[in-house]
Amino acid sequence: MLLMGVFAALALVLSALGIYSVLSYDVNQRRQELSVRMALGAQPRDVLWLVVRQGLWLAMIGGAAGAAGALALGPALSSLLYDVSSGDATAFAVALAVAIVTALAACLQPARRALNPEP
């Protein structure tokens, strides 16, 4: 059980790093656009929400794809599951909530960096 927890934590860290990398790259590519928006009067919270919303949208798409894959492959992998059924709604809800919170945490640093563009 400990080994499974370690692998789950590793998967969570890797997914957070992936989301962070994609959003950092996107913020870096859109630096001029975000700077122009702020120069033209966009509120910092609007720019922050723009970047965070993009990351959460990616997390929602990934969560939906993961849930669909789990539902499709669940019956085939049910022999590997202990104390939980392959279609357990609680497990799906917790996994999706953890994915969204992880994505939100990974989005915050690139979003804050978008608020303070370098000259």
Residue 4 lies in a domain: no
Number of Cα atoms under 13 Å in the Cβ half of residue 50: 18
Residue 19 CB neighbour total at 10 angstroms: 23
Residue 106 lies in a domain: yes
| Tens-digit pLDDT profile for residues 48-69 | 898 888 888 888 888 889 888 8
Domain that holds residue 45: 32-76+84-119
pLDDT score recorded for residue 119: 64
- Indicate the number of domains in the chain: 1
Residue 16 lies in a domain: no
pTM: 0.69
Residue 6 lies in a domain: no
